Amino acid sequence: MYLVTMLGNLLIILAVTSDPHLHTPMYFFLSSLSLADIGFVSTTVPNMIVDIQTHSRVISYEACLTQMSIFILFGCMDDMLLTVMAYDRFVAICHPLHYKVIMNPHLCCIFTSVSFFVSLFDSLVHNWIVLQFTCFKDVEVSNFFCDPSVLLNLACSETFTNNAVRYFFLAIFDFLPFLVIFFSYYKILSSILRIPSSGGRHKAFTTCGSHLSVVFLFYGTVLGVYLSSTVSQTARKDVVATVLYTVVTPMLNPFIYSLRNRDIKSAIWRLLSRTISY
């Protein structure tokens, strides 16, 4: 699954960068999302594979904090990029005549840079919360990696303050982007329903279908893990949901985008044809 994830996302990045027809904002953000997915899955899966082979379940305190920080960085990058992609689709469908002016290369670079620095800030904030409110030296973490939702439950004091800080930043970095996505698709749906021809409506829905599938897959599993970790202590269900959004979702993203997108499929075939001919 890890090799499939790496290969699929690398193919999308190579196809977008090598094909001039795909040098558009939508595919620029898609290649950035694929790059974030590679970093996201590489934070946990290789270490898990090594642990399975060596039968070792031990991780140092410093390595645990590092893994959690990098995991949050790329996870939040996924979150931010999905939000930016929703805004891109909103502009493309609701303001098609102004699309090239609004979504210019300069703005695309700004959006990507802001996504990275917001994600970095989120990672640092979680690190600060863990260092301030938790004590997890010589403890057993009920997961296959240092999951933030598990570590933040290991509060040694001031549980109310810990939960208040957690939910505050959860609202900022998770629910706020989700609201932006929801509002964007509300406006998109309103515009699509006003299109007179059924062919035009189908084409508009097709451009958003892949992104919506990834959004539901990503947010459904992430929110399920974070909400269930505070409501119940069923570690087995938490691990299953964690595997879904840390391993399965990054693997499915390239298939969702490539199989439902004619331009991506054509670019991948052209890339593979050139590679084989060489």
CATH number, residue 158:
1.20.1070.10
Predicted TM-score of the model (pTM)? 0.85
Q: Looking at mean pLDDT, say which of 82-86, 203-207, 238-242, 250-254 comes out highest.
A: 82-86
Query: 115: which residues sit within 8 A by CB, 6+ positions away?
Result: 32, 77, 80, 81, 84
Averaged pLDDT, 130-138: 74
Decide if pLDDT at 125 tops 80. Answer: yes
Distance between CA 66 and CA 49 in Å, rounded? 18
pLDDT per position as a tens digit, 164-191? 766 777 777 777 888 888 898 888 888 8
Q: What's the domain range around 144?
A: 2-277
Give the pair of three-digit tokens for residue 106. 């300069």
Q: Using pLDDT thresholds of 50, 70 and 90, give the confidence band for residue 233.
A: low
Count of domains forming the chain: 1
| Residue-level pLDDT at 278 | 61
Decide if pLDDT at 108 tops 90. Answer: yes
| Residue-level pLDDT at 28 | 93
